[in-house]
Chains A and B, each alone.
Chain A
């Protein structure tokens, strides 16, 4: 409905697509558990920058795609991503004014909540005996957040996505 006034939707789509690909790219098994949650990072960025365009609904749809790709329970990542984006949008006025390290901390916080939800879903599915490495993606995502933020902001300004 608002696609007439807005532009640069292709950049959002492309970045999400790339995040999905990065989620699947094989890593050495020692690094496998450190893989940042690319999809969540990208969605968090867009919902922070353009909360009117990338909202809970889009996050949910992307989550469904991720579930189908990763073979997890259909709806698991959808719920987690919708939850993360919901939290970010609720707080986006504040988070925007944070210095970058506080933003990273917020990302850590939001993604940890997401992981907790994922753990709970897995528990319902019967295989919840996971160790500390399960939480690592939240940490690595927070560490890499300044990079993602800088990159996507540059791209957004360059292509005037609004």
Chain B
């Protein structure tokens, strides 16, 4: 009898959780209380990492330092040009009366090494709403978009990767501005676009960047590269497979982009729950 009651209770819980998000405060409270369990689970990897760092030889460190300095110089040189281009862009846009997002502040967070549910693509990062993280914030690494913040607790946040089967991200082809939505496939190395007509101008090697539609992801961040375009004359849409640029499989540190107006319209975008 007790089992039947509890079963009904869980059903009710699941429905409220799924439909309305009414349980978010409760979930947040539980999550915060059991945060130590997560830290405990991450401990072995953390110890290994630390040992690895401590045991690196001096010679290796010097070599790495040199390499990084060289890279830094190259990047700085590139950045000079980028600065000039950005100023020019702002000037041109002001001529056209359209606004331009200046670069937004970012927050660096580390990955907490834990495996969450293996069939959805979630990761746990080390900054929570104490540090200003909010639900819906875009998350990137040095190469591209990784995902968006799904839930926050005071000390940690759960990030849903763009490869999650329930995740969609508005993109455009960098070459010609063709817009679409890229969905996760459940595989870390593939996103897919299924809503482009057969005659769409998209081909292998095209870079896709965020389009900024939907208001959740700022525009212009790289998402992925087209790996293949499969066109079947019998179907009205072609199958486009993308290779995500962000290193989804080996994330160490992530950047959380802070948007000034952090009240995105959640209606138009097909995000997590769809």
Contact = CB atoms under 8 A, between A and B. Distances in A.
Given A21-B41, A24-B38, A79-B7, A130 B122 contact: no
B150 A71 contact: yes
A69 B10 contact: no
Contacts of B41: 21-26
Interface in A45-72: 55-57, 60, 63-65, 68-72
B54 interface: no
B53 to A, nearest CB: 18
B228 to A, nearest CB: 21
Contacts of B26: 74
A25 B37 contact: no
A57 B7 CA distance: 10
Interface of B is mostly: helix
Given A71-B151, A127-B165, A78 B38 contact: no
A78 B31 CA distance: 15
Contacts of A68: 27, 30-31, 34
Given A73-B18, A79-B10, A56 B3 contact: yes
Contact of A65 (B11, B18, B30, B117): B30
A78 B5 CA distance: 12
B40 interface: yes
Interface in A121-146: 121-122, 124-127, 129-130, 134
A78 B34 contact: no
B17 A73 contact: yes
Contacts of B38: 24, 69
B10 A60 contact: yes
Contacts of B249: 29
A6 B228 CA distance: 64
A55 B13 contact: no
B6 A56 contact: yes
Given A68-B30, A68-B31, A27 B115 contact: yes
Interface string B11-54: 11110011000010011001100100110111011000000000
Contacts of A65: 30, 34
Most buried by B among A55, A73, A83: A73
Contacts of A82: 3, 6-7, 10
Interface string B119-133: 110100000000000
B274 interface: yes
B116 interface: yes
- Which of B9, B37, B38 has most A Cβ within 10 Å? B37
A68 B153 CA distance: 11
B215 interface: no
B81 interface: no
Among the interface residues B13, B31, B165, which one has the most CB atoms of the partner chain A within 10 A?
B13
B113 interface: yes
B192 interface: no
Interface in B59-109: none
Interface in A1-39: 17, 20-27, 29, 32-33, 35
A65 B33 CA distance: 10
B115 A75 contact: no
Given A60-B6, A71-B122, 5 more contacts: A24-B38, A35-B118, A69-B38, A70-B116, A72-B120
9 contacts: A20-B37, A24-B41, A29-B249, A57-B2, A71-B122, A73-B14, A73-B17, A75-B11, A75-B14
Interface of B: 2-3, 6-7, 9-14, 17-18, 23, 26-27, 30-31, 34, 37-38, 40-42, 44-45, 113-120, 122, 150-151, 158, 165-166, 186, 249, 273-274
Q: Identify the 5 closest CB pairs spanning chains A and B, nearest first.
A: A75-B13, A24-B41, A75-B10, A79-B10, A75-B14
Interface of A: 17, 20-27, 29, 32-33, 35, 55-57, 60, 63-65, 68-76, 78-79, 82-83, 86, 121-122, 124-127, 129-130, 134
